[in-house]
Amino acid sequence: MLKTGIAAPDFTLPDQDGQPRRLRDLLADGPLILYFYPADFTPGCTREACDLRDLHARILAAGLRVVGVSPQSPDSHERFRKEHALPFTLLSDEDKVAIKAYDVDGPLGIGVRRATYLIDARGRIADAVLADLMIGKHQAFVERAVAAREGRGA
């Protein structure tokens, strides 16, 4: 995991529509919850994505946005978004460029570790959580980030 306070590594990856998205551009509207997950349509990843979907209105109201990253193709992400009515962007990292830059590649390069980063508007890592199988920790992390911003008037 990357340490808090350091610059978040920039990247450009295709979204679910195949459009290139750069981290710097994603931060133009403010802080970002960047979450890494192993795979579309798996039970744990579906639960995590749906938790974020269910919190999405509060996330936006707090001035935050969500972007997910995994190694599946844009087509897989598009189907995953549609099937679960996910209102946020999913980025395809088939070559694991961002996954490696954020130090969430799986053991021996197999898979992806479940991690969530809060990146501030200046592009710095403000906070992070790594909890591979404990999906509830990611939801609690996001809820704390939202509550902190709500408490200060976003």
Quick check: is 50 catalytic? no
pLDDT of residue 133: 73
Helices (H) and strands (E) in the chain, counts: 5, 7
pLDDT in tens, 128-140: 999 877 778 888 9
pLDDT of residue 137: 86
Could you tell me the pTM of the whole model? 0.93
pLDDT in tens, 13-68: 999 999 999 999 999 989 999 999 999 999 999 999 999 999 999 999 999 999 99
153 pLDDT more than 60: no
Between the CA of residue 129 and those of 14, 20, 31, 113, 141, what are the distances in Å?
A: 24, 26, 16, 11, 7
In b/e form, how buried is each residue of 52-78, taking b as 16+ CB within 10 angstroms?
bbebbeebeebbbbbbbbbbbebebbb
Q: What stretch of H or E contains 141? A: helix 135-151
Choose the catalytic residue: 13, 45, 99, 135. Answer: 45
pLDDT of residue 89: 98
